[in-house]
Chain A
């Protein structure tokens, strides 16, 4: 039986997002009420039977390491299922243009060499909301005889590909002087004759590179078909926090929203994503908002198209009416 190991690259941030939100790698971006973006590729690996996963982490890795821990929530961190933290070779990229740096592979060569019996390496970025079973991809790649198979949805490359471990090994030797480049770009530029397999993905996915993407992907979660595609085909695992269920007060009025556990809702909520342990007071009104963990919205506050990072407090009677085209952002820990 062939063996596939996984590699998730998480050593890039989005400058556009960090300008308005807390500085963190995209992989650690909170999403969908109780997830972070890293949950999607990690869960995909776990749900596809991959037992050994490397996670390339950036220099600013606290939030990411805090979240994934040993990988136990995803079924890793065990004797037979392991997740390895692989320090990224650069300080951490400020953009998402290059995700699969050759030097990250070279620097962590021991991870790959340690897995002597590896046939294939399956790589995934960490800036997409996607719930994908990799097993058909592995099967197609194995049957095809090509050395690399990339995953597309239509014209878009989804930052997911699988390659022969021997080919990756060769690239590391041949191109060590170009190690600042992205593996896929090295192949495109210097090995244009390489046959590249193509795997067509048909499920839901959403790229998140900037705040517009983030807001759009968040709002898409309110569509039931999107919920079905993301959550019905395999569990999306995340860090468990043992929050109690959510309380809805007699005055609560909630429509078309996702609410995470540990929250307390007394006011009006419509078209919102509310993260864990948030509190919407009686008489407050939030519409088309994304409120991250521990949001505290006081009575009389009125928010539209408002996105806030963790632990934001909106005081009484504050009105912030933004628009879909330019939502209003508030950084972590601020009081408005």
Chain B
């Protein structure tokens, strides 16, 4: 039987309810990011750039746009005959059907898919994180240590450590303890939710976890503690680049502003491995005679006649004459009418803002304007 050294299982089924209207109609990994991208582009690109050509994408919440977007995986070169991207939504069996009940359960229900590739290792990813990583390097560390499970960790500020799943290391530098959102953290190494398991170890753990009626079938809460209890070898893989869970409106907005302010744009898009996306065909962007665009990121197909500063514009965004856009994220296909004033706002895909609208919160809160609606301020 042919076998793969490592395949990826990408968790993309979460609702991402904290993103509000942005995920009203689409799953969180499908949410637009950085102008022309969608959040899941980063993970998919990381996979192919790391030589991982087999990716099972576990979907559940409103998966249609995500399925359509990923398609055959061709845009990421993940349409290979020997593997490629496979969309894995919940399915029925002869004994009925169930929704995925937790991250571990989602993979448990696809054991047959993984077995089909007979991999030595399985990389588990979250489709809603923003970072560039060479998983191959992590795999090398995992193999060199002969580990059962390697967890990517990120050093977070101590005062924020209680918001994360925290890994405490023993004297050998292995993971000795895992605490989910500890009140008094004894380490500041946060789990990034990126795991490489030996498949035989993971497979046995998933089956044992499935049979445990008390389990929430969660990697962090159940699988990792189980393996620690069994005395398996768990090691950390330290990551130092940019990494962000864009799970809330605040963090989503902040990550966009980082693109402009912290040189993140250069780091993510220009340096190192390329980020691929399944983009549509747009002409070059047009800036009109009265346009002004400064300190901004603008995608193909935009037509700008107003003034834009410190903002991110997605593909095909149109901005009318006299409009003033500041600190805003305009997602693909949104249209801003003449003389609008928009400050510190996120305008969702395809939203039309009628002329002369004013979108600005007097208290400086981030405003989010929902999907497929016309809005007059």
Which chain A residues have a beta carbon within 8 Å of chain B's beta carbons?
Answer: 32-34, 222, 224, 227, 230-231, 235-238, 240, 242, 244-261, 273-274
Contacts and interface: CB of A to CB of B under 8 A. Distances in A.
A240 B278 CA distance: 10
- Top 7 A-B pairs ranked by shortest CB distance? A33-B284, A244-B269, A245-B35, A260-B284, A245-B299, A250-B295, A258-B284
Interface in B81-122: none
B297 A256 contact: no
Contacts of A33: 283-284
A247 B297 contact: yes
Given A255-B289, A256-B288, A256-B289, A245 B283 contact: no
A99 to B, nearest CB: 26
Q: Determine the main DSSP class of A at the interface with B.
A: loop
Contact of A227 (B34, B266, B268, B286): B286
A32 to B, nearest CB: 7
B15 interface: no
A248 B296 contact: yes
Given A260-B300, A261-B299, A261-B300, A248 B283 contact: no
B35 A248 contact: no
B265 interface: yes
B47 to A, nearest CB: 15
B3 interface: no
Nearest to B299: A245
Contacts of A236: 281, 283
A260 B315 CA distance: 12
A242 B297 contact: no
Q: Which of B268, B275, B288 has the most CB of A within 10 A?
A: B288
A235 B313 CA distance: 21
A34 B284 contact: yes
Interface string B268-281: 11100011110111
A222 B285 CA distance: 11
B225 to A, nearest CB: 41
A251 B294 contact: yes
Contacts of B283: 32-34, 227, 230-231, 236, 258
Contacts of B300: 34, 245, 260-261
A246 B279 contact: no
B292 A242 contact: no
A242 B275 contact: yes
24 contacts: A33-B284, A227-B283, A235-B281, A236-B281, A238-B281, A242-B277, A244-B34, A244-B36, A244-B270, A244-B275, A245-B312, A247-B265, A248-B293, A248-B297, A249-B295, A250-B294, A252-B294, A253-B294, A254-B291, A255-B289, A255-B291, A259-B285, A261-B285, A274-B284
A247 B270 CA distance: 11
B43 interface: no
Nearest to B270: A244
Contacts of A259: 284-285, 287, 298
Interface residues of B, number: 36
Nearest to B315: A245
Contacts of A253: 292, 294
B295 A254 contact: no
B250 to A, nearest CB: 23
Given A235-B281, A258-B283, A252 B293 contact: yes
Given A236-B283, A240-B279, 13 more contacts: A230-B283, A238-B281, A242-B277, A244-B34, A245-B300, A246-B299, A247-B265, A247-B297, A248-B295, A252-B293, A255-B289, A255-B291, A259-B298
A140 to B, nearest CB: 28
A245 B287 contact: no
Contacts of B313: 245
A246 B284 CA distance: 10
B265 A258 contact: no
Given A240-B279, A253-B292, A255-B289, A245 B297 contact: yes
Q: Which of B268, B275, B285, B291 has the most CB of A within 10 A?
A: B285
Nearest to A255: B289
Q: Which of A222, A244, A249 has the most CB of B within 10 A?
A: A244
Contacts of A252: 293-295
A249 B109 CA distance: 49
A34 B36 CA distance: 16
Q: Which of B275, B280, B300 has the most CB of A within 10 A?
A: B300
A256 B287 contact: yes
B199 to A, nearest CB: 32
A70 B47 CA distance: 25
A250 B308 CA distance: 11
Contacts of B293: 248, 252, 254
Contacts of B299: 245-246, 261
B216 to A, nearest CB: 39
Given A253-B292, A261-B299, A245 B36 contact: yes
Nearest to B269: A244
Interface in B237-283: 265-266, 268-270, 274-277, 279-281, 283
Given A244-B269, A248-B298, A255 B287 contact: yes
Q: Which of B268, B280, B281, B296 has the most CB of A within 10 A?
A: B281
